Amino acid sequence: MSDQANRFLGDSIGRTLIKLIVVSLVVGFVMTVFGLTPWSIIDGVRDFVLEIWHRGFSALGRVGDYLILGATIVIPLFVILRLFSYRR
């Protein structure tokens, strides 16, 4: 069982635990210096996803506008070109 745990963790359980504690202290210190909390990170990710979601739908609205604007030129030209090629 110990060999499986060592293989999974990459080292002995004690050494892995010490490494995790040291890295947690360093990351906690850096987060404190920058004023970050776990909740602010979660809120930031949530706000980022919501912003992408809302901008995505506004982009879809703009695509519809572009489609209608382009169609006012493309469809009459298509009809005219088809009429000229129909005579041949």
State pLDDT tens for residues 17-42: 899 899 999 999 999 999 989 899 89
Same domain, 45 and 77: yes
Same domain, 43 and 54: yes
Same domain, 28 and 70: no
For the segment 37-69, what is each residue's pLDDT rounded down to a tens digit? 989 989 999 998 888 788 877 766 777 788 888
DSSP, residue by residue, 8-55 = HHSS-HHHHHHHHHHHHHHHHHHHHHTT--HHHHHHHHHHHHHHHHHH
Same domain, 60 and 81: yes
Same domain, 41 and 79: yes
Q: For the chain, give the number of residues.
A: 88
pLDDT for 56 equals 76
Q: How many domains is the chain built from? A: 2
Give the domain extent around 68.
37-87
